[in-house]
Structure 1
Amino acid sequence: MMSRIFRHLREGIKNVIRNGWMSFASMSAVIVTLAVLGFSLILTFNVAQMSTDVTSQLEFSAFLNVNATQQTGSAIAAQIKALPGVESVQVISKNEGLAQMKKELGSEMGDVLNAFKQNPLPIQLVVKPADPHQIDRIARQVEEIQGVATVRDPHQLAAAIFRTLAIVRDVGVVFVVALLITSMFLISNTIRITIFSRRREIEIMKLVGATNWFIRWPFIVEGMLIGLVGAVVPVLVLVYGYRSLYIRAKGVFSGLAFPLVQAGDLGVKLAVILLAIGLFIGLWGGVMSVRRFLRV
């Protein structure tokens, strides 16, 4: 058994070396395809994390009656906090709301607000759901609570965010799957060209009594070696490149407050996925390429 294993490994390595330019072409195809696939995975991982951060920050505001006191606001906030699915409730008093509005409007409009004898703003409750997908249900329940005047409708904003994130996720998945299928057929065809030049050798081995698997294994090993070497190169380039980008960007998207996926975690995931894909498509390419030449 061990002698057969070493024989298949030896023959597979010889095949790679013997077909130098064809092996190089196959490895180049794997490198280019997996590099594009790896880059797509990097974008997909970071978009997924960004979508998680965006949805985790979804919240809505409920405004109480203008004459509601701070004590009433605290009582209603406790009532909202007791609703199923509510993570937190922040009470913004009238004075805090007025100060925030003056800061947002600027000094000129702030003078206009100072002209009011009484604070015209109501107490505001900022409600954050534990599950962003439940924001509409919670908003409707809050709107029915006595003392709540209006609820800033979160439906359109939440629906737009979920729809955009779903489109980005679906496009990313389709693109990655399309690249994976393309790479499998590309490598299969490349290895098939390599094997085509040795079809007579395969036919002779078959005629003298060699089993299909005895003939097949060296080509499978060759395909796996091509896939493995072709995957190692983009893994090293992409992991090093992403790590440099992560350090330079200080761990956040340029111009945004969303954090990037940590370089160490992404490097491990990327290496595992690309090496596994490289081995698989090399194995698949070797099996599919030699199959037609075993029919003697």
Structure 2
Amino acid sequence: MTIAAVSSVMITLVLVGAFLSIIMNVSKLATDIENNVRIVAYMNLDVHDQEQKVTDPKDSSKQITNADYKKVYNQLTKLSDVKTIKFSSKQEQLNQLTESIPTYKLFKGDANPLYDAYIIEADSPNKVKSIAAQVQKISSINKVNYGGSSTTKIFAFAKSIRLWGIGLAALLLFMAIFLIQNTIRITIMSRQREIQIMRLVGAKNGYIRWPFFLEGAWVGLLGSIIPSLLLAWGYKIAYNSLLPSLRPQQLYLYSPSSFIPQITGIMVVIGVLIGSFGALLSMRRFLRI
């Protein structure tokens, strides 16, 4: 029966560990997607906000001081809830497009039709829409792009993922408690005669309860060893397989070096606590006078 109890704990914790790993990482990816939403403010073609010298409109061969140098940037820095502001020249954007399509040199020999832009990151994803509205009011801004309705859907999706994740995690823990406790209860019931004999010779409840408490803890601990090893091995494989496809989108799973000790600790604690306290709860009926 002890082997059966350890096996039951083992199977249950394998399922719990696998599903918790999936739920936690999916929730993290949803948060990363949410945090990757940026506001891109495109400036008018005649605005040279990051150039101290500009071409004289009256004499193309002459450079003059730019009276509007960093005028837009200074207005952006005054906005509340802004975390970072990064300038992206139209040439940088053209280079990025060219790199993403290496077999086709865009606008080669032609004038660059793109706009200089500021990439703005908000302190909180929920502030993106309000910041975009404020940026649009700046006179030198031609267009503001933050995803619009798609961004709202992303935020809603991320929120639902986190809520469902918490719900599924709670359900999994409840199932683990139920399955492990029932198995330990059957183990104790098989030793009912032993408990009755100890009571008949005058053993106190604490004396009877303590060995079963320790046995339940050991059952939980032994049952968590193999699931922890399997999870560590499987998670490293999954992480290395998915990282190349997620990295270009600035999405990352939890690092194995930090995640594996964390999830392993969770499974060991679940196994030991459910095993020990499950044994105590299962013995209550046998210790009643």
Using the size of structure 2 for normalisation, the TM-score is 0.79
What amino acid sits opposite 2:10 in the alignment? I
- The question of 1:179 aligning with 2:169 is answered no
Cα deviation for residue 103 of structure 1 reads: 7.6
Measured at CA, do residues 109 and 198 of structure 1 come closer, stay the same or move farther in structure 2, by a change above 3 Å? closer
Cα deviation for residue 186 of structure 1 reads: 1.3
| Residue in structure 2 matched with residue 227 of structure 1 by the alignment | 220
Task: Give the one of 12, 32, 37 matched to 1:53.
Answer: 32
Task: Give the one of 190, 194, 205 matched to 1:197.
Answer: 190
Cα deviation for residue 133 of structure 1 reads: 2.5
| Residue in structure 1 matched with residue 284 of structure 2 by the alignment | 291
Contact 2:16 2:176 in 1 (8 A): no
Cα deviation for residue 59 of structure 1 reads: 0.6
State the alpha-carbon separation in 1 of the partners of residues 231 and 29 from structure 2.
Answer: 20
State the alpha-carbon separation in 2 of the partners of residues 260 and 97 from structure 1.
Answer: 28
Cα deviation for residue 76 of structure 1 reads: 0.3
- The question of 1:145 aligning with 2:135 is answered no
| Residue in structure 2 matched with residue 168 of structure 1 by the alignment | 161
For residues 62-121 of structure 1, give each alpha carbon's deviation from its aligned partner in whole angstroms, at most 9, with x where no partner exists.
Answer: 23334334454732023213322223323344555566678879969848x94xxx7665
Measured at CA, do residues 204 and 229 of structure 1 come closer, stay the same or move farther in structure 2, by a change above 3 Å? same
Residue identity (%): 34
Contact 2:192 2:286 in 1 (8 A): yes
What does residue range 128-139 of structure 1 map to in structure 2 within 5 Å? 128-139=121-132
Measured at CA, do residues 52 and 121 of structure 1 come closer, stay the same or move farther in structure 2, by a change above 3 Å? same
Contact 2:81 2:123 in 1 (8 A): yes
Cα deviation for residue 281 of structure 1 reads: 0.5
| Residue in structure 2 matched with residue 78 of structure 1 by the alignment | 74
Contact 1:136 1:154 in 2 (8 A): no
Measured at CA, do residues 104 and 40 of structure 1 come closer, stay the same or move farther in structure 2, by a change above 3 Å? closer
Contact 1:86 1:128 in 2 (8 A): yes
| Residue in structure 2 matched with residue 63 of structure 1 by the alignment | 42
- The question of 1:241 aligning with 2:220 is answered no
* Corresponding residue SS for 1:206: helix
Runs (5+) with no aligned partner, structure 1: 1-21
State the alpha-carbon separation in 2 of the partners of residues 219 and 103 from structure 1.
Answer: 66
Measured at CA, do residues 291 and 86 of structure 1 come closer, stay the same or move farther in structure 2, by a change above 3 Å? same
**What root-mean-square deviation, in Å, do the aligned CA atoms of Structure 1 and Structure 2 show?**
2.9
For residues 130-185 of structure 1, give each alpha carbon's deviation from its aligned partner in whole angstroms, at most 9, with x where no partner exists.
Answer: 33232122112212223223322544233222222222222222222212111211
What amino acid sits opposite 2:246 in the alignment? L
Cα deviation for residue 202 of structure 1 reads: 2.1
Measured at CA, do residues 74 and 201 of structure 1 come closer, stay the same or move farther in structure 2, by a change above 3 Å? same
- The question of 1:218 aligning with 2:221 is answered no
Contact 2:31 2:158 in 1 (8 A): no
- The question of 1:43 aligning with 2:43 is answered no
* Corresponding residue SS for 1:68: coil
- In terms of fraction of residues, the more strand-rich structure is 2
State the alpha-carbon separation in 2 of the partners of residues 81 and 48 from structure 1.
Answer: 32
Contact 1:64 1:148 in 2 (8 A): yes
Runs (5+) with no aligned partner, structure 2: 52-67
What does residue range 104-123 of structure 1 map to in structure 2 within 5 Å? 110=107, 114=110, 121-123=114-116
State the alpha-carbon separation in 2 of the partners of residues 94 and 195 from structure 1.
Answer: 74
What amino acid sits opposite 1:63 in the alignment? Y
State the alpha-carbon separation in 1 of the partners of residues 258 and 199 from structure 2.
Answer: 48
- The question of 1:256 aligning with 2:246 is answered yes
State the alpha-carbon separation in 1 of the partners of residues 190 and 98 from structure 2.
Answer: 80
Contact 1:30 1:187 in 2 (8 A): yes
| Residue in structure 2 matched with residue 90 of structure 1 by the alignment | 86
State the alpha-carbon separation in 1 of the partners of residues 98 and 184 from structure 2.
Answer: 70
| Residue in structure 2 matched with residue 15 of structure 1 by the alignment | none
* Corresponding residue SS for 1:210: coil
Measured at CA, do residues 287 and 80 of structure 1 come closer, stay the same or move farther in structure 2, by a change above 3 Å? same
Contact 2:44 2:142 in 1 (8 A): yes
